[in-house]
Structure 1
């Protein structure tokens, strides 16, 4: 007999937030913090979640009235039902319903987890990519937007027209200065659409930056089956995650917010140092392990660092290449922080797939690896470990692994990347590599040497040689 479907038992909270991007990370992180904040301090902060593309989250969660299960993995394994989400909308099916939700006066925060590509950034300018197909559409059809940026501007425009207070725009993606970046692309769009609206947004709408951290592997059919067996109900919307979580938020909100600090969030004046720490120490080594680990035949991060050479590669990179470029955030010891990262990576219960982390590398490389490399070059040194990671990415996006098998490269630039025949061709892609960095002789030489070693000796031998030379 099959397990019954999860059903909501507690009353749904009144809505105070809209969230764009109801994927696994949002359900494992933002919604859990909000659930805990409402439990601690109360408040009407229920969430309308909006998918900008897929109907999967809606189809999974609507039969459960928005409820789903959060599963903490590892030695602290636990399950709990989260009820902060009250409704899931699919934007392409009914953009007007999304705009109505965003213009509801009770909605005071609109948050986003839409990944790097969802911001429609022009990599060469850091502003809005006006040629992006979704942006072209949204400027011509502002009442039926496709992009998150189009929805934000359309909803803010309606609130201004109705003299309704604006909402706070809260980016929760792994991007440096994510609040400032979101503000920049929103204002670029608004100026192209209505300069007066842009002036109003500039003066009235806060865009606080955040730093988010919780490892959230993709939920598998086995995870759903395990939950059905242990909890006695079927929940296709369940999410799995590590016990650790960290949320640092700039405390700049126009009309209130959930009491996230009661749930353990850190409310600060600036998140810059924390986000740099996380992007370089965690995300930088995560991407390194993803590309090199995948090429070496490892399925997960824990599998990869179970090999002493790959674990030592991370430790050398932290010690010699990454920590020297990161100003310590208030209250953080970077060496201790990195030691804890390795403990998280080693947890075999957190089956974070190298292939999953490797997605969208063209969007991630500049923030996770190239900035650290450039800062090190400015001191007269070369980051050979990070250059090895870049070479690993180049091998990966070539689309064929070391056994001659095809790699399913998921990247918005996948076709361009596969068409690039040489290291030089890839370095010439200005959307990824800043020209000054791409021309730097020490960087080019280090990447070319690492790429040649990966081709000649294979990934495991190349990593072992690196560790032996610098251990």
Structure 2
């Protein structure tokens, strides 16, 4: 018999399901979070849950927020269970479940007026974000904020009734400025190099379109700490709901399954205080950049490395990709020969040990992470996780054979069919454009690299263009397996 999750049923949960030791009624909101998805609930919310369990920080509870209609579905699922979430950690020798209760409200996504009113509340001292790499209005080629995006322009013209996350944040800051309230900290928890700087560029850039004096005030008075966040967290499907029900006796509309490992490294720059997260393992540092670059290149770049060959070979789960000798060896060779040499030393970290940890985490057979999830949104992810590494290698005159192959595999994937002929369903916000370009690139590889907004100067490099064209031609003539075999044997 299963127990339907809610505050009323917490005492009735099976004994093996951990639950909060704190009283939810004792919590007060201190954080508004945009992007209440699986990663947020497996990461930031878990750290806060551990802090609250220790008896500290009860004035830092979370209020959810969002801007898209699609987020209303998740809100409705959580509302039915009083904003509770069951988090299940899994690896080959471990599985545990805990219920977190750190969210005390979830404002209706898209209701800007209500969200702005909450942001004006002096009790809210942090606004945090997990809105994905594509949510920051970054021009992929230049890597900087794009103030000409139509949504940004629309917000600048009507900042009192904004439609974007950054418009709502800026409107909230305007209210606090008018009311003489200390501004909140804006804390990005997304996988973007310099995520604090990127967030500052977006908010200040939008403010600059509204009023120069406002932009200067934001720049001078609002903190945007950089952070590195890490925890592999797949999407929730009926598979996960079924496992939770059968193994733990809990019925949860939207549980989160994740690996046991988690990491959060953050700069200690906040305008109006912060939770004492160092008590529960968050590492506060002066400069997060070395940690961030290591993670983005080795882990996120590693995900991209295994994603597209696995997708082309009809492999479904990530751990199954790691069980494939060709995919695993491709990852090992590319990481050590081309990716890791671009990563500077990181305080207290041995890069080879970190890479081995990544390989073990990718091999976790329990969390059910899918290859398709890793292949998602390459048009936003490649410019952040792969192309900067290529640029650094080219600048040093170093070999880019493996990175060119990775890029060719992405192009081949975007053609829309696997090596077996199976159809690849659209898997990118820009899928139509990518597919059309990939089909042209089959006979004219240079057309793929001509996507200036993605490749920038890298696409104009003769050395990279030649390596890319050769890899793509080999993929089409011989298929993924033989191409990987040739690369691994030094014959590509």
- What TM bracket, shorter-length normalisation? over 0.9
1:84 paired residue among 98, 102, 118: 102
Q: Does 2:479 correspond to 1:461?
A: no
Segments of 5+ residues of structure 2 without an aligned counterpart are 11-22
Residue 340 of structure 2: aligned partner: 323
Which string of whole-angstrom CA distances, capped at 9 and with x for unpartnered residues, describes residues 86-144 of structure 1?
1112322x221111121110011111000111111223443332332322332233223
Partner Cα separation in structure 2 for residue 301 and residue 194 of structure 1: 48
Aligned CA RMSD, in angstroms, stands at 1.6
Deviation for aligned residue 1:81 = 0.4
Residue 176 of structure 2: aligned partner: 159
Which string of whole-angstrom CA distances, capped at 9 and with x for unpartnered residues, describes residues 421-462 of structure 1?
11222211111001x211111100111111111111111221
Verify the 8 A CA contact 2:141 2:455 in the aligned structure 1: no
Partner Cα separation in structure 2 for residue 375 and residue 390 of structure 1: 15
Partner Cα separation in structure 1 for residue 393 and residue 366 of structure 2: 35
Verify the 8 A CA contact 1:51 1:57 in the aligned structure 2: no
Q: Does 2:414 correspond to 1:397?
A: yes
Deviation for aligned residue 1:41 = 5.3
Verify the 8 A CA contact 2:312 2:417 in the aligned structure 1: no
Verify the 8 A CA contact 2:145 2:198 in the aligned structure 1: no
Q: Does 2:462 correspond to 1:447?
A: no
Alignment of 1:236-315 (within 5 A): 236-315=253-332
Partner Cα separation in structure 2 for residue 433 and residue 113 of structure 1: 25
Partner Cα separation in structure 2 for residue 381 and residue 71 of structure 1: 43
SS of 2:24's equivalent in the other structure is coil
Q: Does 2:206 correspond to 1:189?
A: yes
Alignment of 1:73-112 (within 5 A): 73-74=90-91, 75-92=93-110, 94-112=111-129
Partner Cα separation in structure 1 for residue 5 and residue 337 of structure 2: 51
1:428 paired residue among 450, 454, 467: 450
SS of 2:407's equivalent in the other structure is helix
Which string of whole-angstrom CA distances, capped at 9 and with x for unpartnered residues, describes residues 288-322 of structure 1?
11111101111121111101121111111121111
Partner Cα separation in structure 1 for residue 80 and residue 486 of structure 2: 54
Partner Cα separation in structure 2 for residue 222 and residue 305 of structure 1: 21
Q: Does 2:149 correspond to 1:149?
A: no
Once the two structures are overlaid, the 10-residue window that deviates more, 74-83 or 229-238, is: 229-238
Partner Cα separation in structure 1 for residue 426 and residue 288 of structure 2: 32
Partner Cα separation in structure 2 for residue 470 and residue 77 of structure 1: 43
Verify the 8 A CA contact 1:41 1:259 in the aligned structure 2: no
SS of 1:91's equivalent in the other structure is coil
Residue 44 of structure 2: aligned partner: 30
Q: 1:196 to 1:3 in 2, by over 3 A?
A: same
Deviation for aligned residue 1:4 = 2.7
Deviation for aligned residue 1:2 = 6.5
Q: 1:465 to 1:6 in 2, by over 3 A?
A: farther
SS of 1:443's equivalent in the other structure is helix
Residue 47 of structure 1: aligned partner: 62
Partner Cα separation in structure 1 for residue 480 and residue 108 of structure 2: 42
Once the two structures are overlaid, the 10-residue window that deviates more, 212-221 or 409-418, is: 409-418
Verify the 8 A CA contact 2:141 2:383 in the aligned structure 1: no
Deviation for aligned residue 1:405 = 2.7
Verify the 8 A CA contact 2:2 2:249 in the aligned structure 1: no
Verify the 8 A CA contact 1:111 1:170 in the aligned structure 2: yes
Residue 6 of structure 1: aligned partner: 6
Verify the 8 A CA contact 1:6 1:233 in the aligned structure 2: no
Partner Cα separation in structure 1 for residue 74 and residue 106 of structure 2: 7
Verify the 8 A CA contact 1:289 1:304 in the aligned structure 2: yes
Q: Does 2:431 correspond to 1:414?
A: yes
Deviation for aligned residue 1:388 = 0.9
**Across the two proteins, how many residue pairs are aligned to each other?**
469
The normalised TM-score by structure 1 is 0.96
Q: 1:419 to 1:106 in 2, by over 3 A?
A: same
Once the two structures are overlaid, the 10-residue window that deviates more, 49-58 or 138-147, is: 138-147
Residue 353 of structure 2: aligned partner: 336
SS of 1:212's equivalent in the other structure is strand
Segments of 5+ residues of structure 1 without an aligned counterpart are none
Partner Cα separation in structure 2 for residue 142 and residue 452 of structure 1: 50
Which string of whole-angstrom CA distances, capped at 9 and with x for unpartnered residues, describes residues 48-72 of structure 1?
0113212122111112111110100
Q: 1:330 to 1:153 in 2, by over 3 A?
A: same
